[in-house]
Structure 1
Amino acid sequence: MHVEVIGSGPPLVLLHGWAMHGGVFLPLAEALRDRHTMYLVDLPGHGHSRDNTVPVELDACARAVLEAAPVAPWCGWSMGGAIALHAASRWPQRIPVLAMLAATPRFVAAPDWPQGMPVATFAAFEAGLAADWQATVERFLALEAFGLDDARVRTRQLRTLALERGAPSPRVLAEGLRLLESTDLRPQLPTLEIPSLWMAGRRDRVVSPLAMQAAAALTPGARFMQIEHAGHAPFLTHPQEVAAALLDFFAAAPTPPAPPSSEHHAHAPV
């Protein structure tokens, strides 16, 4: 699995969202490179990990990341947030701090979770993926930028980033949608053993800030905040604000010591 290592200082693992890759975090990595050694992961089937055959499932992806990164806080965006939350609930000894960035324990709405994406909207993405996966990815990227003052510019930026390392296969994209549709990690929230930050974009049309606020309210040691003018990718549009919020939260939470160098070393499977 491809992991790009950038910066110096205590380690920080960054997990991207559906149809993307670790390179999407480069603006945030630039803002943090003097304070953290960042591990920008290309999840299995994505980016430079395109040939990695690990299925896009919570446990499989979490274990793959644990094998490729040191003990460190994890910051997960969107689908990456679900993987990070699952890993933190199972292996808190490996993940001392969790940051959920435009991410939620349950992506799709339910009678007891009205803050999720409407079922009909999500079903349209699934149907579209089967009919025309490229157009479906385009629509999802447009939704990620919807509501921003410069939505067209940001949509083009996301499109360029998404294709920078090649698009995931239709199989990988379908597995990612199934992960989003089937995941419900709300039962894990009350017993989460580590501090967590839930950071939302107020203009996000993919993951509602209300969903993140509700999740934080269920989680001991959680802090909720939102970035006023951000959408679904605040690390891209407001990297300095996201970096400042992460640094502030990490300063009040336990973090592992800095690695001896920026050179990456694989770790034993968990």
Structure 2
Amino acid sequence: MHWPDTDMAGIHIETTGNGPDLVMLHGWAMHSGVWDSVVEPLSRRFRLHRVDLPGHGASRDCVLESLEQMTAVIADRLPGSYSVCGWSLGGQVAIRLALQAPERVQRLVLVASTPCFVKQADWPWGMEATTLTLFMENLMRDYTQTLNRFLTLQISGSEDQTRVLARLRESVLCDRPPDATTLQIGLKILQTSDLRAELNRIGQPVLLIHGQNDVITPAGAAEWMQQHLPQAHLRLFPHCGHAPFLSFPERFVSCFDAL
């Protein structure tokens, strides 16, 4: 069964399947349709709630300017108790959900995510700050070319780059693309969010799924999280970039056997 729903605040959620509640959060510039390749097998085991993040997809009219605001608005729409799967930026929202309401979040699945997107003196597993700044500047000059550049980074190191890039382009550029302002807000969140000091407060079981060749959130970030989260298990995908659920959908779904 399939129930699309958009609330008064403009947050769009599509609910499918039956079983324990599993919330799915996409990454920057995407929307919930990016999960299409894994929805059918997962919905046989879970009641999936695919969220369009504020400003993205069918939640375009809900634009928020901080990770905390985004998390609070989404939390109001979620079941009383659930597990949450977040990809990239969606992983940071998932971490915030677990920190803000630990009694509601049963477990976390963090896909190609990181507590800190930007490289720092004590954090080598991030992007150069200048790269994100250039993305912000170029969005206003050439929206499509800037997004294409970001998509190319996402598939770097993947085994089947042509297929994965085509799927990402379809998800971003051909269906409900967010506007440049929304994307700049998202980049600002990526530039400024640093959740490292709070990770040890997450007591829930955490499954980390990461591509070994990810150039946006390097695998070292996942290995660091495995060491600093009290209950974490890492599944590292060889020959894989930033979108493991697109590169290896069957392997990705099999990781949920442990949930």
Q: Note whether the superposition's TM-score is higher than 0.5.
A: yes
Does residue 66 (structure 1) correspond to residue 80 (structure 2)? The answer is no
Q: Which among 26, 40, 44 is matched to residue 36 of structure 2?
A: 26
- Give the corresponding residue for 1:48: 58
- Give the corresponding residue for 2:249: 239
Does residue 212 (structure 1) correspond to residue 222 (structure 2)? The answer is yes
TM-score norm. by structure 2 comes to 0.92
CA distance in 2, matches of 1:158, 1:56: 25
After TM superposition, list the pairs within 5 Å mapping 1:197-208 onto structure 2: 197-208=207-218
Q: Give CA-to-partner distance per residue, 1:87-114, whole Å, 9 cap, x none.
A: 1112111111011100000001000001
Q: CA 1:103/1:219 → structure 2, altered by over 3 Å: closer, same or farther?
A: same
The amino acid across from 1:67 in the alignment is D
How many aligned positions are there?
248
Give the structure, 1 or 2, with the largest relative contact order (CA under 8 Å, sep 6 or more).
Answer: 1
CA distance in 2, matches of 1:243, 1:157: 18
After TM superposition, list the pairs within 5 Å mapping 1:172-211 onto structure 2: 172-211=182-221
- Structure 1 consecutive aligned stretches of length 4 or more whose deviation exceeds 3 Å: none
Percent identity, aligned pairs only? 36
The amino acid across from 2:57 in the alignment is G
- Structure 2 residue ranges without an equivalent (≥5): 1-10
CA distance in 2, matches of 1:138, 1:103: 20
Q: CA 1:140/1:113 → structure 2, altered by over 3 Å: closer, same or farther?
A: same
Q: Give CA-to-partner distance per residue, 1:44-92, whole Å, 9 cap, x none.
A: 1110111123x04211111122111212011100000111111111211
Instruction: Check whether the contact 1:27–1:236 (CA below 8 A) recurs between aligned residues.
Output: yes
- Structure 1 residue ranges without an equivalent (≥5): 251-270
CA distance in 2, matches of 1:112, 1:165: 39
- CA drift at 1:123: 2.5
Q: Which structure has greater strand proportion?
A: 2
CA distance in 2, matches of 1:10, 1:165: 29
After TM superposition, list the pairs within 5 Å mapping 1:102-181 onto structure 2: 102-181=112-191
* Aligned-CA RMSD value: 1.3
- Give the corresponding residue for 1:256: none
